[in-house]
C-alpha cells in the first residue's frame, strides 16, 4: 500500500458531506506541520477554509481543492458503504474517491516527497482547501481569495485538483472554464378566455419569435481554447393548467455558457436588444454564477505537461469543457491556474471510484511539477 492510497482512504472515511469538513483539513495539517507550513483558517458560516503556506518568497505554487463531497444518494444502491473505502478489482470505492480526495492526498504526499529532496527550494508552496465547493460556494474559496487580495498576497501558479482526465490518467488538463450567466425572463401578456382572442394578448405567442432569434444567434466564434458561446433554455412555464385560458405570463429560464470571447455585459445587452426589437413587455432577472477564466500556454501548462509526459508517457490535451470550478475565483489573484486530477467518469455517481494504480502516478505528476517550478 503506497502512502497516497492510505491517505486517500483516511480522507474518504471522514463523512464530509458538503459543507462539513469532518476533520479532513486537520488531517492534512497534521501531515504538513512538520514541514514548516504556517496555517490559517478563514472560516465562514459553518464552512472550513484552510490557507497553508511554506515560505514567504515568489514564485508561489498553490494546490487548491475541496474536502466536501456531494450526497451519497441511496446507500442501498452502493455495492459497499460509501464512507468505508473499499478496494475491488483494482478500484478504490468511496464517496469523494475521485472528486477529490485522491487529489488532496496526492497534494500532501507530493509536497512531502518534494520537501525531503529540496528542503531549501526556491519560492513558496501553499494549499487552499475549502469545504464549500460542492454546495453554494459562497463561503468557501471565494472567502480565502478575498482575504488574500485584501492583504496583497498573490499566487503565481495554482493547480486545482479537480478530476479532469477522460480515459487515462494524464490525458487532459483544464486550462480554463467557461462562464455561467443565467436569466429568468418573464414575458407579460393579458390573460383571458381562449375563445375571445381579441380580448387577450398571448405572451407565449409573442415570445416565440424572440426565442427563435435568441436560439439562432451566433454570440461569438470562441477562440483557440474555447468553443463558441452557447445559449440554452432550461425551463419554460406558462398557463393555469386549464385548456381554455390564455396565460397572463410565460416564464423562461435560460443560461449562457460563455467563453472569454464574450463578456457578461455584452451578452446581457444583446439579449435586451433582441427582446426590445420584438416589442415584448417583460422583466428579466440575471444571475452571474461564474465568470470565465483562461490560462494560455505558458510556464505552468508547460511544467505540468512535461510532468505528465515523464510519468505517463502521454501528451496531454488542453480543455476548457465542463461546468464551473473554484478556479474561477482563484484566477482573480493567480497569474496562472490549471486543473488536473484523476479520471472523472464516476464523479457524483453511485459507486464512485478511482484506480488504485493511478494514485502514486498522480502524486508523481504533482511532485514533478513542483520540481519544474520550485527546484533550485
The phi, psi pair for 65, rounded to 5°, reads: -175, -175
Binding residues: 66, 99, 134, 162, 348
Assess contact for 16 and 24: CB atoms under 8 A.
yes
Binding residues for Zn(2+): 66, 99, 134, 162, 348
Specify the residue for cell string 502516478.
361
Active-site residue flag, 133 = yes
Of 185, 117, 102, 132, nearest to 16 by C-alpha is: 132
Distances (CA, A) of 375 to 9, 30, 165, 250, 281: 30, 24, 27, 60, 62
User: In the chain, where do the E strands start and end?
Assistant: 38-41, 49-54, 60-66, 86-88, 91-93, 124-130, 155-160, 172-174, 176-177, 179-188, 192-193, 230-238, 245-246, 249-258, 282-290, 293-294, 317-319, 334-339, 353-355
Active-site choice (20, 21, 68, 371)? 68
Residue 33 makes CB contacts below 8 A (sequence gap 6+) with 39
Quote the CA–CA distance of 131 and 135 in Å, as a whole number.
9
Quote the CA–CA distance of 309 and 361 in Å, as a whole number.
11
Active-site residue flag, 68 = yes
**What SS3 class is residue 56?**
coil
Assess contact for 253 and 233: CB atoms under 8 A.
yes
Is it true that the peptide bond before 53 is cis, omega within 30 degrees of 0? no
Active-site choice (20, 21, 132, 133)? 133
Helix axes 356-374, 299-312, angle to 10 degrees: 140
In the numeric block, which cell numbers belong to residue 202? 398571448
Catalytic (active-site) positions:
68, 133
Amino acid at each position: 500500500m503506497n502512502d497516497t492510497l492510505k491517505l486517500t482512504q483516511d480522507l474518504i472515511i471522514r463523512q464530509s458531506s458538503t459543507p462539513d469538513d469532518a476533520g479532513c483539513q486537520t488531517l492534512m495539517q497534521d501531515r504538513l506541520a512538520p514541514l514548516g507550513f504556517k496555517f490559517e483558517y478563514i472560516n465562514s458560516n459553518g464552512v472550513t477554509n484552510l490557507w497553508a503556506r511554506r515560505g514567504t518568497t515568489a514564485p508561489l505554487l498553490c494546490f487548491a481543492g475541496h474536502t466536501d463531497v456531494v450526497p451519497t444518494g441511496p446507500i442501498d444502491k452502493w455495492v459497499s458503504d460509501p464512507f468505508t473505502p473499499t478496494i475491488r478489482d483494482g478500484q478504490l470505492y468511496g464517496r469523494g474517491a475521485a472528486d477529490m480526495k485522491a487529489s488532496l492526498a496526492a497534494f500532501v504526499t507530493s509536497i512531502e516527497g518534494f520537501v525531503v529532496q529540496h528542503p531549501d527550494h526556491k519560492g513558496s508552496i501553499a494549499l487552499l482547501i475549502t469545504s464549500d465547493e460542492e454546495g453554494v460556494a459562497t463561503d468557501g474559496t471565494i472567502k480565502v481569495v478575498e482575504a488574500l487580495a485584501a492583504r496583497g498576497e498573490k499566487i503565481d501558479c495554482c493547480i486545482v485538483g479537480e478530476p479532469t482526465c477522460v480515459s487515462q490518467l494524464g490525458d487532459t488538463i483544464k486550462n480554463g472554464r467557461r462562464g455561467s450567466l443565467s436569466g429568468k425572463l418573464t414575458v407579460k401578456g393579458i390573460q383571458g378566455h381562449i375563445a375571445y382572442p381579441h380580448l387577450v394578448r398571448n405572451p407565449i405567442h409573442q415570445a416565440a419569435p424572440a426565442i427563435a432569434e435568441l436560439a439562432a444567434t451566433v454570440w461569438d466564434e470562441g477562440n483557440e481554447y474555447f468553443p463558441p458561446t452557447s445559449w440554452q433554455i432550461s425551463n419554460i412555464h406558462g398557463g393555469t393548467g386549464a385548456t381554455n385560458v390564455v396565460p397572463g405570463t410565460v416564464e423562461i429560464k435560460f443560461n449562457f455558457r460563455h467563453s472569454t470571447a464574450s463578456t457578461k455585459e455584452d451578452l446581457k445587452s444583446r439579449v435586451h436588444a433582441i427582446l426590445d426589437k420584438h416589442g415584448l413587455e417583460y422583466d428579466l432577472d440575471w444571475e452571474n454564477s461564474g465568470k470565465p477564466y483562461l490560462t494560455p500556454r505558458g510556464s505552468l501548462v508547460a511544467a505540468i505537461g512535461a510532468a505528465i509526459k515523464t510519468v505517463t508517457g502521454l501528451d496531454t490535451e488542453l480543455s476548457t469543457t465542463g461546468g464551473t470550478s473554484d478556479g474561477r475565483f482563484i484566477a482573480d489573484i493567480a497569474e496562472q491556474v490549471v486543473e488536473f486530477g484523476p479520471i472523472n467518469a464516476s464523479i457524483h455517481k453511485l459507486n464512485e471510484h478511482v484506480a488504485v494504480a493511478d494514485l502514486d502516478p498522480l502524486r508523481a505528476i504533482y511532485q514533478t511539477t513542483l520540481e519544474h517550478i520550485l527546484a533550485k
